[in-house]
Amino acid sequence: MAKKGDIFASCSFASLGLQSTLCDELRDKMGYEVPTLVQAQAIPVILSGRHVLVNAATGTGKTIVYLVPIIHHLQLYNPRIGRSDGTFALVLVPTRELCIQVYEILQKLLHRFHWIVPGYVMGGENRSKEKARLRKGISILVATPGRLLDHLKNTTSFVHTNLRWIIFDEADRILELGFGKEIEEILDLLGSRKNGFDSKENGGLKHSEYPRQNLLLSATLNEKVNHLANISLEDPVMVGLDDKKISAELPKPSHKHFGSLGSHSDEESEHPVTLRSCSDADYNLPSQLVQTYVKVPCGSRLVVLLSILKNLFEREASQKVVVFFSTCDAVDFHYSLLSEFQWSSDLQSGANQKQKLVSCKTLRLHGNMEQEGRRTTFQGFKTEKSALLLCTDVAARGLDFPKVRCIIQYDSPGDASEYVHRVGRTARLGERGDALLFLQPIEIDYLQDLQKHGVSLKEYHLLKVLDSFPLSCQKHHAKKFVSPEVHPWVLSLQKALESFISAEPKMKQLAKDAFCSWIRAYTAHRGDLKRIFMVKKLHLGHVARSFGLKEQPSLVGRSFQMQKKKTEQRQKGLSKKRKGPAKHEYAQSKRRKQ
């Protein structure tokens, strides 16, 4: 556990300038006694009306940073705001789950302020019901960008002439998912581009009497956020960014910015915001997070994953664990396998009784699931005391699942910022947490990539875990095995998995589909990471084994060869003229894939 003083400030919410009923609400309804450090730094600045960019570690309470000042101001409006006044604040988030999460926090915070109405619009929901809610009026609206743009264009009864705040939560992710164009259109439609703030009329839109205030928040920032900051923030204050992260190109100090403990410069500046590229900046990670990696040969990956999970839940039956995969198909395959695979325990205990290998409740979450299923999993994993969640990166950003003990990244994340957000689902608000990253021996240079961002990992003691499983028929304890591939436990479990999968047509199909999409995702690693995750170095037979397939199916081989050929052509620049659209398509498919 981190020390209290590393997370919480030594002041009260009231001392930040917040109205007393709201402070009572924070204490009584939310259980918050004092603000976190980032809340103490950012709330007074946001209350002052300045545009702000907040960069703070995962799980430090950034949601409250922007919601509370908005509620503070709205409850002071005299006469009280009503539903017919429409939307005053807009919170943009990258995923549906985050949309619901922010909305639920709002509901709690607004308990005593019933005249301020929260609401949300997002992909996957019923448009006409959303239209009806917008017609009635929503004071604080949480939205995913695509659906919001749809309503801005097509829902005439959506009143936003009083709009005062636009918040980009997980700003970098919104842009990475390819929503850049939508965001620019949204800013234009709302007349909220930089230099448009002071005019009362903009593009036919009547602005409220209050000046606009835009806020950007994330635990990681990238070059695209630079652009967004430049088009949406007017003379912003930086919270949580030290001089290392603000480009050295700028004359210093060029912005009002708060260092890690709130020191600030008073000089004003006309300079645009310039953040250092994420390729050379250190990331903020919770200091109490224990980070490890495990080096596993490709063909043993599946058995090692199952063994580690078995070990985790045997050591501590009541805990929550999240495993990240690169594709929806991989989530589905592992979910079915964990739910259905039963192993004869004669190898383990001498009794001939089949039982589930990992005995815990298993849930899955990915973007190809029906909205209702996504919602049920999301809510279920929040409330469960003990469960295993298998998911894609759709769960990597912003989601606040209480008491997650361990994060396993079975498939490597894209760039280092994704690593930071995935591991950020544990060790929140000073709690303890473990993170384990799977790497194949050929991928080990990824550690250097993380190191560049100040992230260093220790090696996980895999053999100790494998040795801990009783295999009565083998005397493996007497012998030391240096590689997991030849460990008797690994060999027998692999054999059992392969027999199970080959005997079950449904499982076999899931395994094949997962194999294909895993290869596609591996091929899609971008930029610098292609140097580490090289498809041509993969042994496809071993990849097949990692999906419990005895051999690489020929059909799969052909589709992979086609994929590989396309990639090689692209790398050689043969398809240069398709480069632009291809990038866009990648972003589109990324939104669907995760």
Give the interface with ligand ATP as residue ranges (CB under 6 A): 32, 35-36, 39, 58-64, 219, 398, 400, 424, 428-429
Nearer to ligand ATP, 59 or 191 (CB): 59
HSE-up (13 A, CA, CB side) for residue 248: 3
State the amino acid at position 128 in one-letter form: S
Q: How far apart are CA 460 and CA 466, in angstroms?
A: 12
- Smallest separation, CB 142 to ligand ATP (Å): 13
Q: How far apart are CA 140 and CA 162, in angstroms?
A: 11
- Smallest separation, CB 428 to ligand ATP (Å): 5
The string of DSSP letters for 2-23 reads --HHHHB-SS-SGGGT--HHHH
- Smallest separation, CB 170 to ligand ATP (Å): 7
Beta strands at 342-344 and 354-356: parallel, antiparallel or unpaired: antiparallel
Nearer to ligand ATP, 399 or 497 (CB): 399
Nearer to ligand ATP, 431 or 449 (CB): 431
**261: which residues sit within 8 A by CB, 6+ positions away?**
37, 41
- Smallest separation, CB 542 to ligand ATP (Å): 35
- Smallest separation, CB 520 to ligand ATP (Å): 28
CA 547 to chain centre: 25
Nearer to ligand ATP, 107 or 157 (CB): 107
**451: which residues sit within 8 A by CB, 6+ positions away?**
none
CB 430 within 8 A of CB 288: yes
CB 433 within 8 A of CB 406: yes
Q: How far apart are CA 441 and CA 537, in angstroms?
A: 11
Q: How far apart are CA 236 and CA 268, in angstroms?
A: 10
Nearer to ligand ATP, 98 or 516 (CB): 98
- Helix ranges restricted to H, 179-296: 180-189, 223-232
Nearer to ligand ATP, 39 or 494 (CB): 39
- Smallest separation, CB 77 to ligand ATP (Å): 25
Nearer to ligand ATP, 32 or 446 (CB): 32
Nearer to ligand ATP, 137 or 433 (CB): 433
Nearer to ligand ATP, 33 or 346 (CB): 33
Nearer to ligand ATP, 184 or 282 (CB): 282
Helix and strand numbers, DSSP H then E, in the chain: 22, 19
Q: How far apart are CA 528 and CA 540, in angstroms?
A: 23
- Smallest separation, CB 429 to ligand ATP (Å): 4
- Smallest separation, CB 321 to ligand ATP (Å): 17
Nearer to ligand ATP, 100 or 514 (CB): 100
Q: Which residues pair with 165 in a beta bridge?
A: 89, 213
The string of DSSP letters for 262-287 reads S-B------SPP-BPPTTSSPPP--T
- The helix or strand, by DSSP H or E, that contains position 323, with its residue range, turns out to be strand 320-324
CA angle 230, 236, 239 (to 5 degrees): 120
- Smallest separation, CB 425 to ligand ATP (Å): 7
**295: which residues sit within 8 A by CB, 6+ positions away?**
439, 440, 441, 444, 459, 462
- Smallest separation, CB 165 to ligand ATP (Å): 17
Nearer to ligand ATP, 16 or 497 (CB): 16
Q: Which two tokens stand for residue 73?
A: 């101001």
- Smallest separation, CB 239 to ligand ATP (Å): 12
Q: How far apart are CA 150 and CA 140, in angstroms?
A: 18
- Smallest separation, CB 371 to ligand ATP (Å): 22
Q: How far apart are CA 159 and CA 503, in angstroms?
A: 59
